[in-house]
């Protein structure tokens, strides 16, 4: 937690410095639909699926104009990326199901290509990347082997095990990077947008029996304030 507070402090400090050159400062919040791509290697015949769950994002951003139709948006967001999962193995006589609630501090850097539709309305497309740092979360579920049922509830990065199989400490990477693309519309100071994130970081990199890649669809509502210079 102390490291997360340090990262948040540094991110906000950097954002504050950038805002001195920004044309707009804003705040946005919205809906996340998180459904990660999960690949299981527990056993030879292991099979599993994940299903999406609803989360949220909230945080400030700054917008720097680079040209008449081009700008850069940099933000700091607190996000939840929950999901449900299940996996099984006939050879091992195993079945498990659970839910994970994961929280990240995310820093998106987006290039915005915009076109004015009227004096008050502008449409735009965005593409960029993000850096996300895990700051908390919980994993709970039911693990059944040979008819014997065990329930578990752990910190997402717990030393007591993940998916009920006694995995070691640090099985999940707390850092993720990925690609963002989407589109939106600005009507005066109000911004409405939709985007999709594809995580490239193998969140399960420290765990040799599972690969996890974040996939998140977002809908955002923002409000911006023009920065007066001088």
DSSP lists the bridge partners of residue 111 as: 72, 127
DSSP 42-58: SSTT-EEEEEEEEEEEE
Q: What is the pLDDT of residue 168?
A: 42
Q: What is the pLDDT of residue 117?
A: 94
CA nearest 106: which of 59, 166, 40? 59
* Residue carrying the six token digits 């009227």: 118
Residue 18 parent element (H or E) = helix 2-19
Interatomic CA distance for residues 176 and 1, integer angstroms: 17
Q: What is the pLDDT of residue 197?
A: 97
The CATH code of the domain at 2-226 is 2.40.160.20
- For 34-84, what is each residue's pLDDT tens digit? 998 877 665 566 677 788 999 999 999 998 888 889 999 999 999 999 988
Taking a C-beta distance cutoff of 8 angstroms, is the pair 157, 138 a contact? no
Q: What is the pLDDT of residue 88?
A: 77
- For 82-91, what is each residue's pLDDT tens digit? 988 887 777 7
Q: Which residue ranges make up each domain of the chain?
A: 2-226
Conformational region of residue 174, where left means phi above 0, alpha means psi within -120 to 50, and beta covers everything else: alpha
Computed over its alpha carbons, how large is the radius of gyration of the chain? 20
Q: In the 8-state DSSP scheme, what is residue 167?
A: P
Indicate the SS3 state at residue 191: strand
Taking a C-beta distance cutoff of 8 angstroms, is the pair 58, 32 a contact? no
Cβ of 82: how many Cβ atoms within 10 Å? Answer: 21
Output the pTM of the full model.
Answer: 0.81
pLDDT tier at 180, thresholds 50, 70, 90:
very high
């Amino acid at each position: 937690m102390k490291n997360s507070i340090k990262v948040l402090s540094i991110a906000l400090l950097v954002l504050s410095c950038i805002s001195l050159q920004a044309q707009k400062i804003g705040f946005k919040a919205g809906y996340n639909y998180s459904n990660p791509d999960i690949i299981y290697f527990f056993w030879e015949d292991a099979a599993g699926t994940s299903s999406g769950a609803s989360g949220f994002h909230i945080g400030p951003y700054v917008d720097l104009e680079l040209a008449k139709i081009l700008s850069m948006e940099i933000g700091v967001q607190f996000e939840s990326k929950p999901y449900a999962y299940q996996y099984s193995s006939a050879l091992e006589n195993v079945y498990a199901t659970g839910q994970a609630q994961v929280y990240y501090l995310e820093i998106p850097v987006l290039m915005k290509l915009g076109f004015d539709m009227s004096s008050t309305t502008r449409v735009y497309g965005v593409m960029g990347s993000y850096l996300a740092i895990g700051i908390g979360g919980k994993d709970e579920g039911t693990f059944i082997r040979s008819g014997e049922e065990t329930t578990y509830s752990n910190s997402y990065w717990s030393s007591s095990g993940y998916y009920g199989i006694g995995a070691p400490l640090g099985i999940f990477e707390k850092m993720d990077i990925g690609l963002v693309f989407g589109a939106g519309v600005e009507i005066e100071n109000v911004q409405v947008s939709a985007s999709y994130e594809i995580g490239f970081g193998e969140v399960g990199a420290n765990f040799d029996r599972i690969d996890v890649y974040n996939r998140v669809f977002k809908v955002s509502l923002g409000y911006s304030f023009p920065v007066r210079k001088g």
